[in-house]
Amino acid sequence: RPLKVVTLVGSLRKGSYNRMVAQSLAELAPAGLSVELLASVGDIPHYDADVQAEGFPGAVVAMGDAIRAADGVIIVTPEYNYSVPGVLKNVIDWLSRLDKQPFAGKPVAIQSASMGVFGGARAQYHLRQILVFLDAIVLNRPEVMVGAAQTKVNEDTATLGDAGTRDFIAGQLKAFEAFIRKHGSDGA
């Protein structure tokens, strides 16, 4: 059966290079894999245990449901000060408190884009550490780190333009499909 994966973008910026990468994934994915964007991390309030005690915000519940219903998650994120942006960590923190924690046993692939030469590599390794606690199953390779992202995007179409990077990402998506088919659950 065809697989569905959902994408979580770790930037709020209108002109986000990471969102441009994320917006290219549907057309780069193999035939057996559909890719849809999740809601913006900006739709989720700051984590507060007092708010949680009154009931999870609807946007958190909806995102948890969307992740649970998907066969896999792709996280596309900037690196802030050698780690993941607070807005992304905030969403993960909320999701981690849901009764049926949606990342448990869920296949996850990571991508990052940055203006620097390392393409957000250090944030990816922090993110992998977080995903250990959430018991996600994370694709090891190929690692997608888009350095000098400002030279590789097409600002007019808000997508990734660079042909070599597009090919490389298509390769990761192919590997992710195979990974999900081998290690994933039924996506229920």
* Binding footprint of ligand FNR on the chain (CB under 6 A): 11, 13, 16-18, 78-82, 113-116, 118, 120
In the bound complex, what is the minimum distance in angstroms from residue 85's beta carbon to ligand FNR?
8
Which of 64, 85 has the CB closer to ligand FNR?
85
Which of 90, 96 has the CB closer to ligand FNR?
90
Q: ∠ CA 126-131-133 to the nearest 5 degrees?
A: 110
Handedness of CA 39, 29, 24, 91 (dihedral sign): positive
Give the Cβ contact number of residue 37 at 10 Å: 16
In the bound complex, what is the minimum distance in angstroms from residue 92's beta carbon to ligand FNR?
17
In the bound complex, what is the minimum distance in angstroms from residue 16's beta carbon to ligand FNR?
3
Q: 149-170 burial by CB neighbour count: b if 16+ within 10 A, else e?
A: beebbeeeebbbebeebbebbb
Q: Which residues pair with 138 in a beta bridge?
A: 108
What is the gyration radius of the CA atoms in the chain, in angstroms? 16
Cβ proximity of 18 and 85 under 8 Å? no
Which of 16, 101 has the CB closer to ligand FNR?
16
How far is residue 115's CA from residue 42's CA, in Å, rounded to a whole number?
Answer: 22
In the bound complex, what is the minimum distance in angstroms from residue 135's beta carbon to ligand FNR?
27
In the bound complex, what is the minimum distance in angstroms from residue 28's beta carbon to ligand FNR?
18
Give the Cβ contact number of residue 54 at 10 Å: 8
Cα 172 from chain centre: 13
Which of 95, 145 has the CB closer to ligand FNR?
145
In the bound complex, what is the minimum distance in angstroms from residue 49's beta carbon to ligand FNR?
26
Which of 79, 177 has the CB closer to ligand FNR?
79
Which of 114, 172 has the CB closer to ligand FNR?
114
Q: ∠ CA 169-183-110 to the nearest 5 degrees?
A: 30
